[in-house]
Amino acid sequence: MARADGRLNHNLLDEDPLPQDECGVFGVWAPGEEVAKLTFYGLFALQHRGQESAGIATSDGEHIHVYKDVGLVSQVFDEATLNALRGHISIGHCRYSTTGGNQWSNAQPTLGATPHGTVALGHNGNLTNSADLYDQVVSRHGATKFGELAQGNTTDTALVTALLKDQPGDSMEEQALALLPTLKGAFCLVFMDENTLYAARDAQGVRPLVLGRLNNGWVVASEQSALATVGASIIREIEPGELIAIDAAGVRSHQFADPAPARCVFEYVYLARPDANINGRSVYESRVEMGRQLAREDSNDADIVIPVPESGTPAAVGYAEASGLPFAQGFIKNAYVGRTFIQPSQTLRQLGIRLKLNVQDHVVRGKKVVVVDDSIVRGNTQRAIVRMLREAGASEIHVKISSPPIKWPCFYGIDFATRAELIANGATMEEITHAVGADSLAYISEEGMIAATGQPRSTLCTACFSGQYPIELPPEERRGKMLLEQPALPGMPHRRAQTGCEPGPDTEFELDDTEVPLTQEQELEPAERSMYEPTLSGRASGD
C-alpha cells in the first residue's frame, strides 16, 4: 500500500474531477552507472506527467528485476530499494490512471516473456485500437487470461506486452518492428530486454520523446527536463514512426511507419513542463506568446494582471507585457501540496481550493484584476477562484484563458470530461461568464494559440478544440477508456479495462474523495512483491 506523506491531495474540488491520462517514461543504457538511481531522478523530473503509481525495471544482462507501487516516485522508492535494482539498463514509468484504474496491478513497467528474452515495457499515450488488439490476444490464446492480463492488469500496455511474444522475427528488435505498425493511436514506448534498450514513437508523434547522451551511455525520456536532471545532453527528438535500439553496438534507428506529424497542441498549453522544448520550440516561450496574443485579441481597462499558479503564470507574464499592465502575484500557492491517500474531511472539502491557494488581499483589494489561466474544463475551479477574489475585495475580475474553449474529448491520452460535462460545449460566452461569476471572460483564438507554438497547423492535433481527429477513430462501441471493463458486448466477449495516464488542467485543484481499493497485492509489504516471480522475473520463459 502506498505510504501517505501527510500532504494535501492534488484534487480539491470534488464536483470538478479533471482530465487525467498521461505518463512519464524514462530509459537509460549506461554500463558502470547506478542506472536505477538515474531512472529515479529522471522520473522525479517527470512527476508532473503521472502521480498515481511509479515503477522501475533494471537488467544486469541476465535477469530483469522490477519494483513498482501506487504512489509518487518519492513514496514508492527508497535507498535500499534502488540499491537492489542493479544492472546497466533501466526503464522507468510514472502513471496517472483513469477512473477505476489506480491499482497496483496496473502500475508499469509491465513484464512478459518472448522467444528472445524477457521484455519490460512502459507506455505513455492511449491506443485507439485496443479492442482489436484484445481480439488478437483472444484469437491466439483463447479466453484464458494471458501474461499480466492474468494478474489483473487492465491496460492497453499489457496488450502490447502480450502481443510482442507472438510476433515473427529472429530478435526482439524484429518482433517490435512487426508489432509497432499495427498499433493505432498515441504511444511513446520505452522498453528493454536483458541487453538492449528500445524506444518507439507513433507515426503522428502525438506525445514527446527525446534522446540524450551521457558520458558513457544513452538516455530516452518524455521530456528534456529529465535529461537535464541526470546530466545528459539532448541529442534530438525521437522521430514520429521511429524505433531506436541501444546496446553495446551503439544506437540503431528504424523507421517503422511514414511520419505524419500531429503533435498534441495541449502539450504546449498545459501538459509539458515549461522548460520543455517540443519540435524546436520552447514550451515556456509558447505560453508567454499565448499570453501576448490573448492581450492583443482582448484587453480590459484593469489595474493588475495575476496568474492562477503555476500553469497560468507564463501566459500571465506575456499578457502583462503586451498590455502594459503590471504583473502581480495575487495568489500564493502551498508548496507542499502533493498526491496523498489521506482523505480530507467534509469541512476541508468545503474549503476546497483554499487549501491550495491563498489570495493576497492587499494585492487585489479595490483593484480591477485580470486573472489568467491556461484552460477551463467544467468551470468549477474558475468559479472558486473568482469567488475568492471577490471576497478579497477585487472591484472587477476579468478572466483570460490562454487556450480556446475545450469542446471535444481526447482519444489520444488525455482523459477529459465527457462532452456533456464540458462547460464550453453548448453554452454561450455570456453563459460561461455568468457561470464562473466574472465581469468578463475571453479565450485566445485557435489561430492565436497555434501561431504561439511556432508550428504549422497541419502538424498539430487540435481535436479537443476543433473536433478534427488526425488519427481515425473506431466505432463508438469499440472505444472508450473503460470499454474493456464493461460486460461482454455482441461480438466483443471477454473485454477488460483500458486505462491511460495523463493529468489534465487543474488536476492539482480537484478532489478525489474516494478510497483507493486495496487488492491482495497492495496489502503485502513492498519487499514481498518487489522482485516478483515467477511470471515477472528475468527468467520468465513462458506465460
Residues with catalytic roles? 23
DSSP SS3 for 477: helix
Domain final position from 453, 477, 492: 453
Contact at 8 Å (CB) between 147 and 176? no
Compute the distance between CA of residue 401 and CA of residue 222 in angstroms, rounded to an integer.
Answer: 26
List the single range of 148-162, 250-264, 275-289, 375-389 with lowest mean pLDDT: 148-162
Domain final position from 437, 453, 469: 453
Domain final position from 226, 261, 296: 261
- Domain co-membership, 444 together with 376: yes
Nearest residue to 217 via CA among 82, 120, 88: 88
Q: C-alpha 458: how far from its chain's center?
A: 23
- Domain co-membership, 237 together with 291: no
- Note whether residue 509 is domain-resident: no
Q: Is 514 a residue whose pLDDT tops 50? A: no
- Note whether residue 87 is domain-resident: yes
- Note whether residue 157 is domain-resident: yes
- Note whether residue 277 is domain-resident: no
- Domain co-membership, 317 together with 228: no
Q: Is the dihedral of CA 324, 330, 336, 338 positive or negative?
A: negative
- Note whether residue 270 is domain-resident: no
Q: Is 384 a residue whose pLDDT tops 80? A: yes
- Domain co-membership, 253 together with 290: no
CA atoms within 13 A on the CB side of 342: 11
- Domain co-membership, 236 together with 332: no
- Note whether residue 267 is domain-resident: no
Q: Residue 311 annotated as binding?
A: yes
Nearest residue to 155 via CA among 116, 104, 210, 208: 104
Domain count, the chain: 2
Reduced 3-state DSSP string for 248-261: CCEEEEEECCCCCC
- Domain co-membership, 247 together with 308: no
431-468: burial string, b at 16+ Cβ within 10 Å, e else: ebbebbbbbebbbbebebbbbbbebeeebbbbbbbeee
Q: Is 128 a residue whose pLDDT tops 60? A: yes
**366: CATH:** 3.40.50.2020
Q: Is 389 a residue whose pLDDT tops 80? A: yes
Q: Residue 94 annotated as binding?
A: no
**106: CATH:** 3.60.20.10
- Domain co-membership, 230 together with 305: no
Residue with the larger pLDDT of the pair 454 and 147? 454
Compute the distance between CA of residue 385 and CA of residue 364 in angstroms, rounded to an integer.
Answer: 13
493-508: burial string, b at 16+ Cβ within 10 Å, e else: eebbbbbbbbbbbbbb
Q: Residue 188 annotated as binding?
A: no
- Domain co-membership, 300 together with 208: no
pLDDT attached to residue 453: 98
φ, ψ dihedrals at 306, nearest 5°: -125, 145
Sequential DSSP letters for 328-390: ---EEE-TT----SPPPPHHHHHHGGGGTEEE-HHHHTT-EEEEEES--SSSHHHHHHHHHHH
Q: Is 280 a residue whose pLDDT tops 80? A: yes
Mean model confidence pLDDT for the chain: 84
Q: Residue 374 annotated as binding?
A: yes
Cell numbers linked to 342? 489521506
What's the average model confidence in pLDDT over 526-542?
32
Q: Is the dihedral of CA 224, 225, 228, 230 positive or negative?
A: negative
Q: How long a stretch of residues is the chain?
A: 543
**Domain of 431, in residue numbers:** 285-453
Place of cell 507585457: 321
- Domain co-membership, 138 together with 73: yes
What's the average model confidence in pLDDT over 82-88?
97
Sequential DSSP letters for 265-311: HHIIIIIS-TT-EETTEEHHHHHHHHHHHHHHH-----SEEEE-TTT
pLDDT attached to residue 153: 85
- Note whether residue 8 is domain-resident: no
- Note whether residue 332 is domain-resident: yes
Q: Is 391 a residue whose pLDDT tops 90? A: yes
- Domain co-membership, 209 together with 153: yes
- Domain co-membership, 210 together with 83: yes
Q: Residue 202 annotated as binding?
A: no
Compute the distance between CA of residue 41 and CA of residue 56 in angstroms, rounded to an integer.
Answer: 11
Compute the distance between CA of residue 350 and CA of residue 355 in angstroms, rounded to an integer.
Answer: 10
pLDDT attached to residue 541: 30
323-362: burial string, b at 16+ Cβ within 10 Å, e else: bebebbebbeeeeebbbbbeebeeebbeebbbbbbebeee
What's the average model confidence in pLDDT over 489-497?
43
- Domain co-membership, 290 together with 251: no
Q: Residue 373 annotated as binding?
A: yes
The residues pairing with 370 across neighbouring beta strands, listed in sequence order, are: 305, 398
Helix (H), strand (E) counts: the chain: 17, 23
What's the average model confidence in pLDDT over 75-98?
92
